Amino acid sequence: MYNLCIIGSSDIVSKHLTAASNNGFKLYAITSLKHNSRNARNLKRKFKIKKFFPGWKDCIKECSKIKNISFLVAPRIEDTIKVLNYISDLNKPIIVEKPISNDPKKLKKIKNKKFFVGYNRIFYKSVNYIKKKYLDKKSSCVLNILCPEKNKKSFITNSCHIISILIYLFGDLNVKIIKKSKRIILCVLKNKNVNINLSVVFNAPTNFKIDFFIGNTHLKLSPIEELTEYKGLKKIRKKNLNLYKPVLSKSINDYDINLKPGFNSQYKLFKKFCQRKTKKIPNSYDFAEKVLKTCEKIAK
């Protein structure tokens, strides 16, 4: 069994702790960058974590002596790299909340880049269904994507999940900006196998949406946790009119009553990462860097 030392006390931390516990991690200690954090104390009580430390450096020093210790790094985004560098020499397994930083140049300051980044949406059943059934065959396809965002900053910290899905599925992407204004960003992302039309619309009252068009198949993620697959059209006669309705062939729902979508599979892999049973992970530092650089090209 691996022990987990938690550094951070934001809302997302509770989602991590539920998934970690579900996968056999013992919640050993918690701290926060805010000294004597009330939120961290509340999480200690709620999840029955063994120890609380008022100071984060004291917590790391103590936990580094514990056998089979791993670290969850999930403080405020501006503190993440500071924490990573403080524990870089310990040679312990680390899972860090995405996107690590909002500036790709700051990533270069990280000393030890061997860690696991929490891009949970690449672990969705729907995303991996698309990858395995359609994309491993190198089929060419066209995508239309809609990202409703608050502003350019939130695009980097929030829509990075969308970009993570794209890079996970297609690899490196070239970015060409078509139009940019206060209300919208229109761009094309492409490589030899895919053409992606991406629209970022600020303050739009709608869901995120990804439409895949591959041959006669239409795959739709909207919201991203729900996949519908359509193959062909069915003719319907109605009031002397011929109407054509897409034929639903499959649907996948990634919602989980008890866990944040993708987190359970993410922690299954992190457990193997801790046990040294896998070296190759899809959500490495290099992957996170590609995601952040692509986001910056779109939103800067």
State the CB neighbour count (10 A cutoff) for residue 92.
20
14/11 Cα distance (integer angstroms) = 6
118-141 residue pLDDT tens: 999 999 999 999 999 998 666 678
* pLDDT for res 139: 67
Which region holds residue 102: left if phi is over 0, alpha if psi is between -120 and 50, else beta? alpha
214-251 residue pLDDT tens: 988 999 999 999 999 999 899 998 888 989 999 999 99
Which residue from 61, 51, 58 is spatially nearest to 28, judged by alpha carbons?
51
Rg over CA atoms, the chain: 21
For residue 279, count CB atoms less than 10 angstroms from its CB and return exposed for 0-12, middle for 13-18, buried for 19 or more.
exposed
Task: Grade residue 269 by pLDDT with cuts at 50, 70 and 90.
Answer: very high
* pLDDT for res 4: 98
* pLDDT for res 107: 94
Report the chain's terminal Cα–Cα distance, integer Å.
43
Contact 199, 180 (CB under 8 A): no
Maximum Cα interatomic distance, the chain, rounded to a whole number of Å: 78
160-210 residue pLDDT tens: 999 999 999 999 999 999 999 999 999 999 998 899 999 999 999 999 999
Q: Which pairs from 152-155 meet CB under 8 Å and 24+ separation?
A: 152/185, 152/299, 152/300, 153/102, 153/299, 155/185, 155/200, 155/295, 155/298, 155/299
Task: Grade residue 285 by pLDDT with cuts at 50, 70 and 90.
Answer: very high
Pairing of strands 3-7, 26-31: parallel
Q: Quick check: 263 pLDDT over 90?
A: yes
42-98 residue pLDDT tens: 999 999 999 999 999 999 999 999 999 999 999 999 999 999 999 999 999 999 999
Contact 28, 3 (CB under 8 A): yes
- Phi, psi dihedral angles at 67 (to 5 degrees): -70, 140
By three-state DSSP, how is residue 229 classified? strand
Amino acid symbol at 117: V
114/124 Cα distance (integer angstroms) = 23
Contact 291, 160 (CB under 8 A): yes
- Phi, psi dihedral angles at 152 (to 5 degrees): -65, -35
Task: Grade residue 211 by pLDDT with cuts at 50, 70 and 90.
Answer: very high
* pLDDT for res 64: 96
31-51 residue pLDDT tens: 999 999 999 999 999 999 999
* pLDDT for res 1: 82
User: Could you tell me the pTM of the whole model?
Assistant: 0.94
* pLDDT for res 137: 63
Contact 4, 72 (CB under 8 A): yes
292/4 Cα distance (integer angstroms) = 27
Q: Quick check: 280 pLDDT over 90?
A: no
Which residue from 275, 263, 293, 272 is spatially nearest to 119, judged by alpha carbons?
263
